[in-house]
Amino acid sequence: MSTLWNKGTSATEIVEKFTVGNDKILDLRLAKYDVLGSKAHVAMLASIGLLTKEEEAILTQELDKILSEIEEGKFVIEEGVEDIHSQVELILTRRVGDIGKKIHSGRSRNDQVLVDLKLYFKDEALQIRDEVRNLFDTLLKLSTKFSNVLLPGYTHGQIAMPSSFGMWLSAYAETLVDDMTMLAAAYRIIDQNPLGSAAGYGSSFPLDREQTTRLLGFKTLHFNSVAAQMSRGKCEKALSYALAAIASTLNKLASDCSQYMSGNYGFISFPDELTTGSSIMPHKKNPDVWELIRARSNRLQSLPNEISLLCANLPHGYHRDFQLLKDILFPAIETTHSIIGMTQYMLENMRVNEKILEDPRYDYLFTVEEVNKRVLAGVPFRDAYKSVGIEVNNHTFVADISKEYDSVEKLNHTHIGSVGNLCNERISAKMDDIMKEF
């Protein structure tokens, strides 16, 4: 096993297998970032005289070659090599000799992996941001398109008051704004350069940490070397809360859609190819996609707890426990991309039932409208409420009254946030503001 820390002895095979775990597979996602971090470190070492300009040029050229190999899919972590850091240094040493051994001066594998992770998390967070923004735009577009189509609202699972497809879809759009606020906060926590903190206590070399901060595109740096190391676990936890928030929103939307497309509701439908059938019941159109979005979202909502428990009771400094954070978070990031993409795809193919309220089961949906109508005519609210309630209980409430309110316009709901005043433009402006936080 080739390791950066090897001092002439080797671990037994069983120990190597246990301690390395899935790192060789997961680390391939960090390959690009390890090279970028090394390039910035090389430039800084040259600027403080630990590398000559010639050595800097040679190392930078070879690192660029490795980066190209990574982008072309030709890079592998060889058998017997512990991790991405060892592999990059091994390749450099093979190609340029002893110059390659100088690249690790002034840094530890601890701050090296932190740099890799932070750069990776930043890129993933920005990609998730863009995916959520596309989903947000789709929701508002559909909200506007179906803004006048009434939809029964439910409380306690019972028919309650009139809503609309516009209100329903816009609600999820605005909730995504809150989720992006959490993602932006996580991004700011991540966007701090740890390079130069070494093993957690700095270095006797005169490292220029502000230079590497600029070169790597971090907004600022962890000034305190111990604080930099303490960010391991905290960054993952912050990101996990943001992913869990997004998952919570998608989970609820998936639950709505699974319910709304069922035969007992029939509010929405999807093309046959986006649903599945039953092996025994030929009439079935099952919402398998939405159910799996819901299930995977539920798994994502366990992320903060799992990461918190893994990091609990650890004193400051690096601990090997942190290695397992990659096992938890890397697959979760991929799942997040997947469920956002599938939600987007399903919504783009959603069909809306524009005649829901023709069903007589929704006649009582407008009792509140009738109460308010009587109040506007001068009847005290409690009296109006009681009289309409008696009519409902005696089955004398006029069913045809629903025809008076068969459109959003006739409902005359005009206050901010009502079915007649969704404020989608203002919701869009809220999202625009959050996008600037990244």
Catalytic site includes residue 395: no
Task: Establish if 402 belongs to a structural domain.
Answer: no
367-418 pLDDT, tens digit per residue, is: 888 888 899 899 999 999 898 889 888 887 765 666 677 777 778 788 999 9
pLDDT average, residue stretch 32-40: 96
More confidently predicted of 1 and 290: 290
Task: Tell me the pLDDT band of 363, cut-offs 50, 70 and 90.
Answer: confident
Same-domain pairing of 81 and 153 = no
User: What span, in angstroms and rounded, lies between the C-alpha atoms of 430 and 1?
Assistant: 52
Task: Establish if 3 belongs to a structural domain.
Answer: no
The domain of 61 spans: 13-105
Same-domain pairing of 295 and 311 = yes
Total number of domains in the chain: 2
Task: Establish if 375 belongs to a structural domain.
Answer: no
Same-domain pairing of 87 and 50 = yes
Task: Tell me the pLDDT band of 364, cut-offs 50, 70 and 90.
Answer: confident
Beta strand pairing call for 351-352 and 268-269:
antiparallel
pLDDT average, residue stretch 273-278: 70
More confidently predicted of 10 and 306: 306
Domain boundary among 105, 137, 154: 105
58: CATH: 1.10.275.10
Task: Establish if 401 belongs to a structural domain.
Answer: no
Residue labelled with tokens 């992770």: 117
Task: Tell me the pLDDT band of 317, cut-offs 50, 70 and 90.
Answer: confident
Long-range contacts of 403-407 (CB under 8 A, 24+ apart): 404/366, 404/369, 405/162, 405/366, 405/369, 406/150, 406/357, 407/148, 407/150
- Cα-based distances in Å from 335 to 9, 298, 326, 368, 382: 40, 11, 14, 43, 51
Same-domain pairing of 43 and 160 = no
102-145 pLDDT, tens digit per residue, is: 999 999 989 999 999 999 999 999 999 999 999 999 999 999 99
156: CATH: 1.20.200.10
Same-domain pairing of 140 and 162 = yes
Instruction: Output the pLDDT for position 274.
Output: 81
Task: Establish if 326 belongs to a structural domain.
Answer: yes
Same-domain pairing of 94 and 119 = no
Catalytic site includes residue 41: no
Same-domain pairing of 343 and 306 = yes
Token pair in block for residue 409: 């316009």
Domain boundary among 105, 120, 137: 105
Catalytic residue among 156, 283, 395, 415: 156
Catalytic residue among 10, 68, 278, 338: 278
Same-domain pairing of 178 and 95 = no
- Cα-based distances in Å from 407 to 139, 165, 401, 402: 21, 12, 13, 10
Q: Percent of the chain at pLDDT above 70?
A: 91
167-223 pLDDT, tens digit per residue, is: 999 999 999 999 999 999 999 999 999 999 999 999 999 999 999 999 999 999 999
